[in-house]
Amino acid sequence: MTDVPFGAHSRRKSKYSPREPASGGARTSAMIASLDAEGRETVTAPFGTALCDLAARRDDIVGLSADLSKYTDMHVFAARYPDRFYQMGMAEQVMLSAAAGLAREGFTPFATTYAVFASRRAYDFIAMAIAEENLPVKICCALPGLTTGYGPSHQATEDIAIFRGLPGLTIVDPCDAVETAQATQAIADHPGPVYMRLLRGKVPDVLGRYGYEFRLGRAQVIRDGADVLFVSSGFMTMRVLDAAERLAADGVDCAVLHVPTIKPLDVATIRAEAAKSGRLVVVAENHTVIGGLGEAVAADLMRAGIHVPFRQIGLPDEFLDAGALPTLHHQYGLSVEAVTAAVKSWL
């Protein structure tokens, strides 16, 4: 079965039509994940390329897609290794059950779809067939959080909240192309199941300038600062790094602690950084403020008896609008300008 173009099947098409951006917003396709790539180096299909590199060294690597290989960069792997790629059609539950079967036979399956379909539609199959059995299935999903403008049917704003309660499931939220490639290889070596959020297409290279190396389960300080501690994951690390530079121009010294592994959470590093006196702690995530990194960090700090000024930057607990991404990101507080303004208001 070949890939169906996005929107060609009624089950995949959102009932929400992309709207023109409000005045001042950039005009761009609602499907483009605008991540401030202008002026940055980008890498095309870092996930698909990394998966091919893995497959060249390991015969156990196989790929599956729920009719979305072109939109998860799995098509790169499919073209290189057609005999190790399985097109499962619009059947996420079947795909993940098949991935479980492949894992039982000694393979390491990478299964791709959109984050909304894995988290909402296939949760029980992941829980029963994969997580409970601790099988090494890697569930890699595009369009996490607010990375599409096609409305609630495709915006996976609550995927981490859904998966955080599932025992034994590792959750990874990479920042950029560098980390996506490194994390793909790291999760292949992990013996259990993993859910990883994907950035696809031309993905910015942000962390390369810092000499960053992904370590599964570890948070890392990207920059230090005395006034504010940003704790961030995913592309919001990109945003807070930019915001930190703008705030520095106004005399506000910001640290950035990048937390790519949401579960298990690196509580030792987070506690150590949060406990440093005099800093406002701001958790920034591309996810609803309910049940994600922010609540995980807040709960752990409270349990550890670390009481610090604390704020969250995240998506509201509501179904979001459709429209152009730059407009939506600013509307919901994820843009560099919005982050900068919020921090200034809290100091």
- Whether the ω angle into residue 46 lies within 30 degrees of 0, i.e. cis, is no
Residue 219 has which token pair?
Answer: 């948070």
Crossing angle for the helix pair 267-274 and 293-303, to the nearest 10 degrees: 70
Q: Is 70 exceeded by the pLDDT of residue 189?
A: yes
Q: How much is the pLDDT for 31?
A: 46
Taking residues 297-305, what's their average pLDDT?
98
Q: What is the pLDDT of residue 60?
A: 98
Q: Is 41 a catalytic residue?
A: no
* Domain range annotation of the chain: 42-204, 217-346
What is residue 146's predicted lDDT score, i.e. its pLDDT? 97
Is domain 217-346 given the CATH code 3.40.50.2020 in the classification?
no
The set of residues, in sequence order, having a beta carbon less than 8 Å from that of 209 and lying 6+ positions away, is none
Compute the distance between CA of residue 326 and CA of residue 330 in angstroms, rounded to an integer: 6
Stretch 237-262: mean pLDDT: 98
C-alpha to C-alpha distance for 312 and 289, rounded to whole angstroms: 7
Above 80 in pLDDT, residue 159? yes
pLDDT of residue 314: 98
Residue 327: Cβ within 10 Å count:
24
Residue-level pLDDT at 15: 28
Fold entry, domain 42-204 = Rossmann fold (3.40.50)
- Read off the tokens for 20: 């023109």
Element (H, E) at 94: helix 92-104
Give percent of the chain above pLDDT 70.
Answer: 89
Question: Residues 92, 158, 179, 295: which is the catalytic one?
Answer: 92
| Averaged pLDDT, 74-85 | 98
Region 99-108: mean pLDDT is 98
Give the pLDDT score at 2. 40
Confidence of residue 27 (pLDDT cuts 50, 70, 90): very low
Q: Which has the minimum average pLDDT: 19-33, 156-170, 180-194, 264-278?
A: 19-33
How far apart CA 53 and CA 106 sit, in angstroms, is 19
pLDDT at residue 199, rounded to an integer = 92
Indicate the average pLDDT of the chain.
Answer: 91
The pLDDT, as a whole number, for residue 207 is 96
| pLDDT category of residue 40 using cuts at 50, 70 and 90 | confident
pLDDT band per the 50, 70, 90 thresholds, residue 288: very high
- What's the rounded mean pLDDT across residues 76-91? 98
Q: Kindly write down the DSSP assignment for every residue of 224-276, as one continuous string.
A: --SSEEEEE-TTHHHHHHHHHHHHHHTT--EEEEE--EEES--HHHHHHHHTS
Rounded to whole angstroms, the Cα distance separating 101 from 98 reads: 5
CA-nearest of 159, 172, 174, 99 to 131 is 99
Global pTM reads 0.91
> What would you report as the CA-atom Rg of the chain, rounded to the nearest whole angstrom?
19
pLDDT for residue 29 is more than 60: no
Measured between alpha carbons, how far is residue 239 from residues 105, 246, 285 in Å?
42, 11, 10
pLDDT at 245: 97
